[in-house]
Amino acid sequence: MIFSWEKIIEEILVKKGKVFLLGESDSGKTTFAKTLVTKAIQKGILVGWVDADIGQSTIGPPTCIGLSLISPQSPEFKISSLYFVGNTSPHGRFVPLIMGAKKLVDIASKESNLVVIDTTGAVTGEFGQTLKYQKILACKPNYVLAFQKEKELEKITDVIKKFNFLKIYFMEIPENIRVRTREERAKNRQERFKLYFKNSKLHTLIKKDYAFYPSLDFLLSENPDNLIVGLKNSSGEFLALAIFIKQYNEEIEILTPLVNIENIAVLEFGNIRINQDGEQLEYISINNGTFYNEEG
């Protein structure tokens, strides 16, 4: 049975809880999320929007899971928290994608009455099905809204329907949903990165004062210039993104919008290179502590 947006939104606004959006890219998930969040705010409901679509982000820059805590007093989709994943695709970043989603969902659950979880379009094949299955187990949603075009979600929904903590609704997909081209997606990522790094500055750091993950020892085998980096403090909390510009004998140079660089403790390398205009240059995969080029 296919359910209308209006009917399910009406039920969710009454019962609230955690809502997990499941579907391929360009199936209407994000449009539905915006509609649900807007209607919830109009009803005076506190909302936590967890944006786990790391390639086509709505909350924050690509490569990060974003959380926006939204209320009638603050209805804008502002960044409340970010979790660094390090890639614009789930591939090679299975663990941080699930850990980050769970962490931000837990924060949102404490701060709001309704949590909306948007996700990537990876839903097919062993990887996509396993990713969504494990993420649903980690987040324990009350609702899974399935935006299915044909039968691509059934291998996931046939399993999770046995869980007693959630309801599954197959949702209608609006006819006016437009499928974006690969080029359009790349352009959107570039614009999001460019906006994020707009007011960034170059900083020189002394290597011995920081920890690097993966370590710089094996990074020497693959030039780390232009790799995306997650900056973390001594508590392991994400501070900001950076672009690794250059390394020297004793120093490194990074570009970041972070103002208080004295709080940096760890630099965590991601899997992509971008330039200072936000253009994604290359995907670098990590395999057993070694970087190697791979098409992504």
Instruction: Let me know if 25 is exposed, middle or buried by CB neighbors in 10 A (0-12, 13-18, 19+).
Output: middle
Domain of residue 30: give its range: 2-171
Distance CA 39, CA 7 (A): 13
Write out pLDDT tens, residues 135-169.
999 999 999 999 999 999 999 999 999 999 999 99
Q: Sign of torsion, CA 157 161 165 167?
A: positive
**Omega prior to 224 cis, within 30 of 0:** no
| pLDDT at residue number 76 | 86
Q: What is the pLDDT of residues 182-211, one digit of tens each?
A: 899 999 999 999 999 999 999 999 999 999
pLDDT in tens, 42-81: 999 999 999 999 999 999 999 999 999 999 888 888 999 9
Amino acid at 221: S
Q: What is the pLDDT of residue 219?
A: 60
pLDDT > 50? residue 296: no
Give the helix/strand (H/E) hosting 131: helix 125-139
Residue 294 has pLDDT above 90, yes or no: no
Task: For 171-205, give the DSSP string.
Answer: EP--TTPPPPPHHHHHHHHHHHHHHHTTT-EEEEE
The 3-class SS string of 226-285 reads: CEEEEEECCCCCEEEEEEEEEECCCEEEEEECCCCHHHCCEEEEEEEEECCCCCEEEEEE
Residue 113 maps to a domain: yes
146 located within any domain: yes
Q: What are phi and psi of 154, to 5 degrees?
A: -65, -30
- Among 119, 151, 171, the domain boundary falls at 171
**CATH code of the domain containing 84:** 3.40.50.300
Is 182 part of a structural domain of the chain?
Answer: no
CA distances from 228 to 75, 88, 129 (A): 31, 11, 27
Contact call for residues 270 and 228 (beta carbons, < 8 A) = yes
Residues 235 and 152 in one domain: no
Residue 223: band (very low, low, confident or very high) from pLDDT cuts 50, 70, 90: confident
- The number of folded domains in the chain is 2
* pLDDT tens figures, 240-292: 999 999 988 899 999 999 999 999 999 999 999 999 999 988 888 765 444 44
Same domain, 103 and 27: yes
The residue-averaged pLDDT of 169-187 equals 89
Are the CB atoms for 30 and 153 separated by under 8 Å?
Answer: no
